[in-house]
Copies of this chain bind each other. A is one copy, B any other.
Amino acid sequence: MIALSATIARAADGLPAWNEGAAKRSIVAFVVAVTKVGGPSFVPPAERIATFDNDGTLWAEQPLYFQMAFAIDRVKALAPQHPEWKTKEPFASVLRGDLKAVAAQGEKGAVALIAATHTGTTTEEFARVVVDWMAAARHPTTKRPYTDMVYTPMLELLAYLRANGFKTFIVSGGGIEFMRPWVEKVYGIPPEQVVGSYGKLQWEMQAGRPVLRKLPDIGLVDDGPGKPVGIQTFIGRRPIAAFGNSDGDLQMLQWTAAGSGARLCLYVHHTDAAREWAYDRTSSIGRLDKGLDEAKVRGWTIVSVKDDWKQVFAFAK
């Protein structure tokens, strides 16, 4: 009943940072259809699962994934305890500030950085490190806290869906333990609705108190085909709406689209170099190439940041 009256109340005014246009219309039409009791596309609230990529979909991801910025800062902070890093890659490049050399080392370099900076501690220690970093770190170009780099229209979309009985999940290539300490406050998404990449954990007793230690072994890389795997493992129900911005989200959108009944598959297309960044087919971060082709062929919703968003960030009115 709350969801139903909210539909009527919020359909028109729930998305003020969105320009009127095809993208906004497709979102509202979908929400109205699946919440209309007795309608042909009605979906019971328990099945209103919406999954959101994080990097480049809910918050920005340029000029580098924010979790990579965290890893780089951690390397610097931990370097005094690791004199061998001065001559060992990818750490040496990080310490010299040569991020191009780090990027040139590709996934192997990134995995080494993540392993060195995201494992070994207990989950509680790691959460504190993340919270402290999030409070102190600033984005390299906007000089804003990273949690300011969230997209206002997407925050509205999260709230609009929840007001219409949806359960909103993050399904991100980012690390679960990196996201959970702050996403509830920023997105209103509780930790149990965060799916992401994760490592194995080890139960230990530390002076009679149990802790969970973060091991370097990877449990899941929640990207590309790993996203539907993460969805099935963590949520166990196919989403009816999925939101992404890159080829790494394509399988999540395909998995969502393959269910029966009304579906909303949406790509954020970064087209606004003035207010944000413009990148797609050739970007090393958040590449959108195959996904863009498939979205066009299948008639998925494509959001042009430049044309469809009245506002991008809350700090830039």
- Footprint of B on A, CB under 8 Å? 46, 49, 123, 167, 169, 176-177, 180, 184, 190-194, 198, 200-203, 209-210, 212, 219-220, 225-226, 228-229, 232-237, 251, 254-255, 258
Contact = CB atoms under 8 A, between A and B. Distances in A.
A258 B210 contact: yes
| Number of copies of this kind of chain in the complex | 2
A105 to B, nearest CB: 27
B228 A210 contact: yes
A212 B236 contact: no
A46 B190 contact: yes
Contacts of A232: 123, 201, 212
A180 B236 contact: yes
Contacts of A228: 203, 210, 212
Contact of A255 (B49, B210, B225): B210
Given A190-B237, A236-B176, A209 B46 contact: no
A212 B229 contact: yes
B46 A176 contact: no
B209 A229 contact: no
